[in-house]
């Protein structure tokens, strides 16, 4: 049974953005949620909770900021990058708590649901590889004009930041308006994420004549084969003069 959501303007102010409790995590329910600017967020001991906070944290290639340290790192090292080659590995790595690799914060039901969405062509993963070893990645949901970033991880310094750059660049080239970060934190802010009013975010959720073509699954194929090509693309878009060292 699919779950129907109230308007996001009815979400609570405290806790900020809580809209509904209960329902299920079927792929249809999740697609309905993301299509309306809603995402699930709860722990294994809690009921399913659905959120749409105000303001909304978002990022795009236009706002993305790479630190001097990261730019220097990307000029020095080169890694292979792929899309949807290791979705299950990415989401399972994201599920593990920082510094507690044996503890999972993304529940089994969520893992199964997002894996199904990946098979359906709605969920996608961005992978960073070092000699065929997965060192970082990010996954999220592509619906309409927005890519909803869910989580990212790293096993090597800067790998998750590179995955964020990769995802922002890819969706920019594909015509998406922005990457939804959901809730701001210091790390996202340092990378160039900004807060926008929920009312502005809501405008991006409007689908032309509610045509189904706006929520069809999509195929993602990377425009770049490695981080060196990706960095050169970033530099060209930002009109950056590359330092020699």
Residue 243 counted as domain residue:
no
Among the residues of 83-226, which ranges form H helices? 87-95, 108-120, 159-174, 186-191, 198-203
Q: What is the pTM of this model?
A: 0.92
DSSP state of 209: G
Residue 84 counted as domain residue:
yes
Q: Please count the structural domains in the chain.
A: 2
- Residues 135, 190, single domain; the answer is yes
Q: How does pLDDT run across 91-141, given as a tens digit for each residue?
A: 999 987 554 545 556 788 899 999 999 999 999 999 999 999 999 999 999
Residue 136 counted as domain residue:
yes
- Residues 74, 106, single domain; the answer is yes
Its domain, for residue 211, covers 56-238
Q: What are phi and psi of 136, to 5 degrees?
A: -175, 160
Q: How does pLDDT run across 186-198, given as a tens digit for each residue?
A: 999 999 999 999 9
């Amino acid at each position: 049974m699919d779950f129907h959501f109230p308007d996001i303007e009815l979400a609570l102010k405290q806790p900020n953005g809580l809209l509904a409790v209960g329902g299920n995590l079927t792929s249809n329910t999740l697609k309905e949620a993301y299509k309306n600017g809603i995402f699930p967020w709860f722990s294994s001991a809690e009921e399913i909770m659905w959120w749409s906070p105000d303001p909304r944290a978002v990022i795009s290639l236009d706002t993305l900021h790479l630190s001097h340290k990261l730019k220097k790192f990307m000029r020095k090292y080169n890694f292979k990058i792929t899309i949807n080659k290791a979705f299950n590995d990415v989401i399972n790595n994201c599920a593990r708590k920082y510094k507690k690799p044996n503890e999972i914060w993304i529940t089994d039901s969520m893992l199964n649901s997002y894996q199904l969405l990946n098979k359906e062509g709605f969920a996608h993963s961005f992978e960073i590889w070092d000699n065929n070893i997965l060192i970082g990645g990010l996954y999220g949901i592509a619906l309409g004009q927005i890519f909803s970033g869910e989580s990212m991880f790293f096993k090597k310094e800067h790998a998750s930041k590179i995955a964020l750059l990769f995802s922002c660049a890819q969706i920019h080239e594909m015509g998406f308006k922005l990457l939804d970060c959901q809730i701001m934190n210091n790390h996202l802010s340092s990378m160039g994420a900004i807060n926008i009013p929920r009312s502005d975010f809501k405008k991006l959720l409007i689908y032309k004549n509610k045509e189904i073509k706006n929520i069809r699954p999509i195929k993602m194929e990377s425009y770049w084969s490695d981080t060196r090509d990706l960095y050169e693309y970033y530099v060209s878009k930002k009109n950056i003069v590359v330092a020699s060292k």
